[in-house]
Homo-oligomer: A and B are copies of this chain.
Amino acid sequence: MEDALQRFWTALQQVGALAPMASESVPVDQALGRVTAEPVFARTSVPHYHAAAMDGIAVRADETLGASETSPLQLAVGTQATWVDTGDPLPPDTNAVIMAEQVQDLGDGRLEIMAAVAPWQHVRPMGEDLVATELVLPENHTLSAVDLGAVTAAGHTCIDVRCRPRVAILPTGSELVEAGRAPLQPGAIVDFNSVVLAGQVREWGGEPTRLPITADDRSLIRDRVAAALEQHEVVVVNAGSSAGSEDYTASIVGELGQLLVHGVAIRPGHPLVLGIARDKALIGLPGYPVSAILTSEFFLKPLLYRLQGLLPPDRPRQKATITRKLLSPMGEEEYVRVKLGQVGQRLMAAPLSRGAGVIMSMVRADGLVRIPRFSEGVHAGAEVDVEVLRSIDEVRKTIVAIGSHDLALDLLSNALARRTPGASLASANVGSLGGLLALSRGEAHLAGSHLLDEKSGEYNVSYIERHLAGKRVVLVQLAGRVQGLIVPRGNPRGISSLEDLARDDVQFVNRQRGSGTRVLLDYELTRRKLDPRRIRGYEREQYTHLAVAADVASGAADAGLGILAAARALELDFLPLFDEQYQLVIPREFYESALLAPLLEIVGGPDFRAEVDALGGYDVSSMGRVVWES
């Protein structure tokens, strides 16, 4: 990657494409956030006269000599003393101000003072703030609100700032459709990369132009790139998701100019194209969203800052403990997105999906962890260096929930963000048992769990005693809910019981091992003496209720075990089978912390209870009750 960047910049430098942008003059009050193109020198001094700094009388200091409490001195108004307000110019030949409170008006045009004053007392001398011709701001300076005030004070009404670098973004791919063009056909992909890229360009001080979606037609793409090169400093071609389409970009770059780089050894991001045409930068970004986002971070961002005479702001770095083992992708360096959470004394980094297609992994990410080429990867519990994407203070205000997923957790997350500005709940869905293990490793503040003890019929307690031995824990009821079979609308296979899952014409979708739903299924199969091997699809595991429902909705499965809310969300049918309890497992140290207080207050209040009740299929009667504690 370093190599690719180096080659790109050297070539850009040679054709003068790294020179700072030309300047334009804008009114000072519209220049917030812009970058100075010239140094700003003061036109006038500030103040431009000697100004009284107090309300009182202006005097000549040497005429006050000898005044004291025991021998007050009298001054004649007009000749020896002049009343001034704060900000007034000193009359000629005066050089000090005596505060009104220290002056007695004798009423006959004479004033009495009790103390001598030093020259220039209570005077703001001309040029105290700025002297004409002094440097106010250098060039290449990003203008803050305070800067605008200083520039105005210095006598300017307009200011020369750098033009914003113009970036054309061309989304290509015959499969792309514009957002909002419903209904969406299978195979059609909404172009959202260009929305992200345009936003990035704006965040980095550039002026984006989103060109129309362009089908995989080489000559059309070439013509649009060539036209865009006329009007923009940088042209970005975003390849479609088909593997061949970035080759178009590479060959077009070669035809219009010089192809410098095709492919970099980073993941996500591999199929990147860098080139120069008509002395402009031409960048081909990969089609997968995470690849596009990261490669534009690495290659477009520094270029846009450079064109404005700036360096990109450094992102803070933090040491954190990685929660899962990360294998190295041999031969490529990888940027793994992580969710950060301050749990007790440790900053934990939980890896998010590594898929290049999963934009939510960027939305949820608090940081990036770089795994170098040819490294051995990172083992769980190792300390890693995280490039932090959010403010670390925000991270510290984040409640980390790892465990079983429930739609009520999404609502809780939102209720928290609504109630307490700055607070957030981040949840990772790894199933109930995974959540208890995360708590035992000190990776989370709480875990949603619904693990049935097959002997006692109780939920969670025996699992907590086994996996969190020695930890003091509070178990809080969230909701009773119904588990059942999620089937397509109209139930075309006529499924009516668990036994039907063993039929040859029924494709099942399962939950992952360690999830409460899986425990429940296996318990019920054992009770019914049903052999899991007879269930087609038993080995296909999904990590959330919604993912199970999605499989049923797409036709990939005919049935899955899950909750009513998931079925209802995707407008599927639901056969209720079992009642169960979904609870929050919370170590006492966090239960009593200021961090969790607003969340527990929400769970104990009537508003949230009503909100969950409205989802349907939940028993909210005991919501917020402590059902067990150790």
A residues engaging B (CB < 8 A)? 28-29, 32, 39, 44-51, 53-55, 85-89, 92, 95, 119-120, 124-141, 144-150, 152-153, 155-157, 173, 175, 179-180, 184, 186-187, 189-190, 192-193, 195-200, 202-203, 210, 240-244, 287, 289, 293, 305-306, 309-311, 313-314, 353, 355, 357-360, 362-363, 391, 393, 407, 410, 413-414, 416-418, 421-422, 424, 539-540, 544, 546-547, 549-551, 553-556, 569-570
Which B residues lie within 8 Å of A358 (CB)?
Answer: 128-129
Pairwise interchain contact A189-B87, C-beta atoms closer than 8 A: yes
8 tightest A-B CB contacts, nearest first: A145-B199, A149-B196, A127-B550, A133-B569, A311-B422, A89-B186, A138-B417, A152-B192
Write the chain B residue with the least CB distance to A571.
B132
Bound CA–CA A305/B29 (angstroms): 22
Write the chain B residue with the least CB distance to A418.
B139
Identify whether the interface residues of A are mostly helix, strand, loop, or mixed: loop
Bound CA–CA A28/B357 (angstroms): 20
Copies in the complex: 2
Determine which of B44, B189, B363, B570 lies in contact with A133 in the assembled complex, contact meaning CB atoms within 8 Å. Answer: B570
| Apart from A45-B550, A86-B242, A309-B418, 7 more pairs, CB < 8 Å | A85-B242, A87-B175, A125-B554, A127-B547, A128-B353, A128-B358, A129-B357
Known: A133-B570, A152-B192, A357-B124. A138 touches B546 (CB 8 A): no
Pairwise interchain contact A546-B136, C-beta atoms closer than 8 A: no
Find the residue from A153, A203, A311, A540 having the highest chain B CB count within 10 A: A153
Write the chain B residue with the least CB distance to A549.
B131
Bound CA–CA A604/B180 (angstroms): 60
Which B residues lie within 8 Å of A87 (CB)?
Answer: 173, 175, 187, 189, 240-242, 287
Determine which of B305, B353, B556 lies in contact with A421 in the assembled complex, contact meaning CB atoms within 8 Å. Answer: B305
Determine which of B243, B410, B413, B556 lies in contact with A126 in the assembled complex, contact meaning CB atoms within 8 Å. Answer: B556
Pairwise interchain contact B202-A145, C-beta atoms closer than 8 A: yes
Pairwise interchain contact B134-A410, C-beta atoms closer than 8 A: yes
